[in-house]
Amino acid sequence: MQIDRLCRAIKETQCPVCAGLDTEYGYLPPEYESTAAELTDSEKAKCVLKFNCDIIDAVCDIVPSVKVQSAYYEQYGAAGVGCFFDTMEYASRKGLVVIADAKRNDIGPTAKAYAQAHLINSPADFLTVNAYFGIDGIQPFLEACEMTGKGVFVLVKTSNPSGGEFQDLNIGGRKLYEAVADKVRLWGEPYMGSCGYSSVGAVVGATYPAEARKLRERLPNTFFLVPGYGAQGADAEDIAVNFDDKGLGAVVNASRGLLLAYKKEKYAHLSAPDAARAFALDMKDDIMAALKRRGIE
Amino acid sequence: MQIDRLCRAIKETQCPVCAGLDTEYGYLPPEYESTAAELTDSEKAKCVLKFNCDIIDAVCDIVPSVKVQSAYYEQYGAAGVGCFFDTMEYASRKGLVVIADAKRNDIGPTAKAYAQAHLINSPADFLTVNAYFGIDGIQPFLEACEMTGKGVFVLVKTSNPSGGEFQDLNIGGRKLYEAVADKVRLWGEPYMGSCGYSSVGAVVGATYPAEARKLRERLPNTFFLVPGYGAQGADAEDIAVNFDDKGLGAVVNASRGLLLAYKKEKYAHLSAPDAARAFALDMKDDIMAALKRRGIE
């Protein structure tokens, strides 16, 4: 099961970091820019793929996983979507656990088509999904997980400022995101890995540490995908509450911070891939130090 | 504004029907199947596009709009996504109002990339979105609507059996879907068309008529995209409550019923496109008769 592979990779690398490839053409340093006469979608996608592969080469021995955000690729149409799958294929060949971040959701028959697209036919090992449709919009993804050993991360508590607008609404003593969390726990029970975590994980934003701490207790067997480190403002202390007392159970994503590290003064002497690597190592040290302060070795 | 164009097209055709192109390769009748030695994604996408164009040709003078469901195309990778955009481009050239059904959702910067992909760069006139992230995941779509005159349909009450699992949870006197509906109304106020409806519409499933009736009162200036007719079990009486007292304010989608009409006894003597046309005309008559029974001419 891919959840066991993810847990093992985190233990081996001692690095609960996910390199987020939310790559826009505008993020590329000059040496990756197109020299073609016309800057078509397909030209942009080609440049983004080259950049992504170099980033993957630079980090694949130190991080366990990458998260590839579909939106940035969909901007460049069919060529962009080709680049999305090619990026995941390359990361997978380099041994990384691959998370497709596409937050898909629909009624059952349509969710089945999404599961086919993003779990069964895809190099991705995990897919992010949105639970607004309830179980029959989730079931096709679970069936695909059953068939392939892959997993999903269900949106529970998102990292953005207005995440609470609906998610924090009070429902007879619980918040909406807690009601979603309770279902995620239930849905995940039949898909438990030998690592003690289920193939049905949760997205829990790093920017709400008080809520994350309570969710960690509420969902002892649910693996957390944690966005929000760096560019979105969460620090390592905020992050640490997402881990269990063995320092496992979560992987922390950084996208803009990592891809654009080459623009920061600290890393400005490095190439973009080397800057991404240095950023990932600093992020690892930052998180591991925070875990240590919480008494986790 | 595209919402005005949609309202006008419904008045002109007297047909509040949206032809749903949720086309799987497996739906195609034998005459559309590939004759290639190898059935690749790109081969499947080519066959689906030919079928879609013929369906569009057969219905474009009688229906105002098409809805193209992204999931079915994503199954065939980059080639499928190419077919998704090509289908919408063709429908747009034929004068139809085009709804991209992709239910996208994410944090602000990522929602901005989705808005670029599916409103600004796309032939689509409308996009379906999911509001779980709250306003800052919706704002980039609103800005794209402002810029292009296009619109969105926000998921409010979905048509699937488990739609109520979260949507019907009670939040201090309102249901969650009503809380979402109230925000949709608020978000839509600055984007009002001359037709009296906003560019920010709502998805309201036909399978919950009691809820739809109350939503129609709650959202007097919100246009409804109504899925669930036919294959999902809703009939014309269920549908009628979604309209205002002039018989406007909603468009009803049928996908499987229309695409697979050629398999029904009633239409079996017709080609698949002609069967889709006959189905759409029957659906129109069915809805118009139900509106008449409600006293709407």
pTM of the entire predicted model: 0.98
pLDDT at B285: 96
pLDDT > 80? residue B123: yes
What are the CA-CA distances from residue B105 to residues A256, B45, B102, B233 (Å)?
19, 26, 9, 28
pLDDT at A205: 94
Residue linked to tokens 């069919």: A78
Is A103 one of the annotated active-site residues of the chain? yes
Q: In the predicted model, what is the mean pLDDT of residues B204-218?
A: 95
Determine which of A19-33, A93-107, B129-143, B231-245 has the lowest per-residue pLDDT on average: B231-245
pLDDT at B75: 97
Q: Give the span between the Cα atoms of A130 and B269, in whole angstroms.
A: 42
Compare CB distances from B117 to A74, A82, A103 and report the shortest one's residue: A74
Determine which of A41-45, A233-237, B66-70, B84-88 has the lowest per-residue pLDDT on average: A233-237
The 10s digit of each residue's pLDDT in A70-84 is 999 999 999 999 999
pLDDT > 80? residue A233: no
Cβ-Cβ pairs closer than 8 A, A with B, add up to 169
Per CB-CB distance under 8 Å, the chain B contacts of A170 are: 171-172
pLDDT > 90? residue B268: yes
CB contact (8 A) between residue B114 and residue A158: no
**Rg of chain B in Å (alpha carbons):** 18
pLDDT at A54: 98
Per CB-CB distance under 8 Å, the chain B contacts of A255 are: none
Q: Give the span between the Cα atoms of A201 and A190, in whole angstroms.
A: 13
Q: In the predicted model, what is the mean pLDDT of residues A133-146?
A: 98
Q: In the predicted model, what is the mean pLDDT of residues A220-238?
A: 88
Residue B295: band (very low, low, confident or very high) from pLDDT cuts 50, 70, 90:
confident
Tell me, rounded to whole angstroms, the distance of Cα B127 from its chain centroid.
9
Q: Which of B94, B103, B183, B214 is catalytic?
A: B103
Q: In the predicted model, what is the mean pLDDT of residues A10-35?
A: 97
The 10s digit of each residue's pLDDT in A148-166 is 999 999 999 999 999 999 9
The domains located in chain A, with CATH, are 2-293 (3.20.20.70)
Nearest in space to A3 (alpha carbons), one of A166, A148, A173: A148
- Contacts for A218 with CB less than 8 Å, ≥ 6 apart: A178, A181, A182, A185
Percent of chain B at pLDDT > 70 equals 99
pLDDT at A55: 98
Q: Give the span between the Cα atoms of B184 and B123, in whole angstroms.
A: 24
φ/ψ of A288, rounded to 5, equals -65, -35
pLDDT at A230: 77
The 10s digit of each residue's pLDDT in B238-256 is 899 999 999 999 999 999 9
First to last CA, chain A: 26
Residue B4: band (very low, low, confident or very high) from pLDDT cuts 50, 70, 90:
very high
The encoded tokens of residue B181 equal 């509906």
The 10s digit of each residue's pLDDT in A164-194 is 999 999 998 999 999 999 999 999 999 999 9
Tell me, rounded to whole angstroms, the distance of Cα B273 from its chain centroid.
19
CB contact (8 A) between residue A108 and residue B160: yes
* Cβ atoms of residues A280 and A62 within 8 Å: yes
Residue B232: band (very low, low, confident or very high) from pLDDT cuts 50, 70, 90:
confident
The 10s digit of each residue's pLDDT in B144-179 is 999 999 999 999 999 999 999 999 999 989 999 999
Percent of chain B at pLDDT > 90 equals 95
The encoded tokens of residue B138 equal 């919706």
> Which residue of B110, B136, B175, B186 is the best one to mutate when testing the A interface, meaning the one whose CB has the most A CBs within 10 A?
B110
If you write DSSP's letter for every residue of A84-121 in order, what string do you get? HHHHHHHHHHTT-EEEEEEEE--SHHHHHHHHIIIIIS
Residue B94: band (very low, low, confident or very high) from pLDDT cuts 50, 70, 90:
very high
ipTM above 0.85 for this complex: yes
Q: Give the span between the Cα atoms of B65 and B74, in whole angstroms.
A: 22
pLDDT at A295: 85
pLDDT at A235: 87
- Supply the mean pLDDT for chain A: 96
3-class SS at A124? Answer: coil
* Cβ atoms of residues B177 and B202 within 8 Å: no
What are the CA-CA distances from residue A41 to residues A30, A31, A80, B124 (Å)?
18, 18, 7, 18
> Which residue of A75, A84, A119, A127 is the best one to mutate when testing the B interface, meaning the one whose CB has the most B CBs within 10 A?
A75
Cα dihedral B252, B258, B260, B261 sign: positive
If you write DSSP's letter for every residue of B167-225 in order, what string do you get? HT-EETTEEHHHHHHHHHHHHHGGGB-TTS-BSEEEEE-TT-HHHHHHHHHH-TT--EE
pLDDT at B234: 81
* Cβ atoms of residues A82 and A45 within 8 Å: yes
In B, minimum Cα distance to A227 occurs at B107
